[in-house]
């Protein structure tokens, strides 16, 4: 049950940003040193191309809230259910998953307090590096503020993600561990993101693959999200995304103790 809870909490984490081939971790190829064959683009060039590929800064700034709905599947545990997420500028988020036979799990950030409520451990607040990570993930305009939120970025090389060439950036925020991003060398979109996540079983490295980008209100968004860890694989399918929906601040407020 503890491992299932860890998997369900990771669903909450990745739902806001195809099915994994295996649940067993494979050695990852190291980014190739391509400097001898070609000149790598700079961090600014890769990030600027990413923003333009999404739809551009102006299109992203037109959005002030987002409601996302979908389903998830964790084959290793035979678990599936529904997922929904609410986000409101500048930095409020809540993700809710409903698992038949287990219950409802909520994880939220109200702009100040990051909290989590689940049937197994009850209500908890996040602190330290976990709180820092939630703050980063909750910034509504994160995609156009990457250079501000991650002051240290380094282009590490070029690597295949599936059948696509990707430029690899290692990005380090203040107060949290580094993340590794893989941007489509041709289209500019983010194909994969690796980062450490804290859960009931401790810190685990998660690899998130973003696929099936579709334009929604002028901005491209992934509609299939696959995640792999050393223990399990998760697939999230997004069925609905709506922007500029009226979402009350009370939606993100910490639930009263039961």
By CB neighbour count within 10 A (0-12 exposed, 13-18 middle, 19+ buried), where does 207 fall? buried
Cα angle 70, 139, 47 (rounded to 5 degrees) comes to 95
Domain ranges of the chain: 2-21+40-240
d(CA 131, CA 127): 5
Summarize the confidence of residues 165-173 as an average pLDDT: 97
Choosing among 1.10.260.40, 2.50.20.10, 3.30.70.940, 1.10.3720.10, the CATH entry for 2-21+40-240 is 2.50.20.10
**Integer-rounded Cα radius of gyration of the chain:** 18
3-class SS shares of the chain: helix, strand, coil, % to 5: 20, 45, 35
Q: Which residues of 217-256 are buried (b: 16+ CB within 10 A; e: fewer)?
A: eebbbbbbbbbbbeebbbbbebeebebeeebeeebbebee
d(CA 99, CA 80): 6
pLDDT digit string, tens, across residues 63-97: 999 999 999 998 888 889 999 999 999 999 999 99
pLDDT at 141 (0 to 100)? 97
pLDDT at 45 (0 to 100)? 98
pLDDT digit string, tens, across residues 209-245: 999 999 999 999 999 999 888 778 889 999 999 999 9
């Amino acid at each position: 049950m503890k491992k299932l809870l860890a998997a369900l909490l990771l669903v909450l984490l990745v739902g806001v940003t195809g099915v994994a081939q295996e649940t067993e971790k494979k050695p990852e190829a190291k980014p190739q040193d391509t400097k001898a064959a070609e000149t790598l683009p700079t961090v600014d060039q890769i990030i600027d191309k990413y923003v333009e590929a999404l739809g551009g800064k102006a299109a992203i700034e037109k959005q002030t809230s987002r409601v996302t709905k979908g389903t998830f599947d964790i084959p290793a545990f035979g678990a599936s259910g529904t997922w929904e997420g609410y986000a409101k500028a500048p930095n409020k988020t809540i993700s809710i998953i409903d698992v038949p036979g287990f219950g409802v799990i909520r994880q939220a950030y109200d702009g100040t307090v990051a909290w989590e409520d689940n049937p197994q451990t009850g209500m908890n607040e996040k602190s330290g590096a976990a709180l820092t990570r939630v703050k980063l993930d909750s910034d509504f305009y994160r995609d156009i503020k990457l250079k501000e939120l991650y002051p240290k970025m380094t282009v590490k090389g070029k690597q295949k993600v599936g059948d696509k060439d990707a430029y690899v950036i290692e990005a380090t925020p203040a107060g949290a561990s580094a993340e590794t991003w893989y941007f489509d060398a041709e289209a500019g979109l983010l194909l994969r993101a690796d980062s450490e996540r804290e859960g009931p079983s401790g810190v685990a490295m998660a690899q998130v693959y973003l696929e099936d980008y579709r334009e929604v209100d002028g901005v491209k968004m992934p509609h299939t999200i696959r995640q792999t860890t050393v223990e399990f694989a998760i697939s999230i399918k997004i069925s609905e995304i709506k922007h500029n929906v009226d979402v009350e601040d009370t939606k993100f407020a910490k639930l009263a103790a039961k």
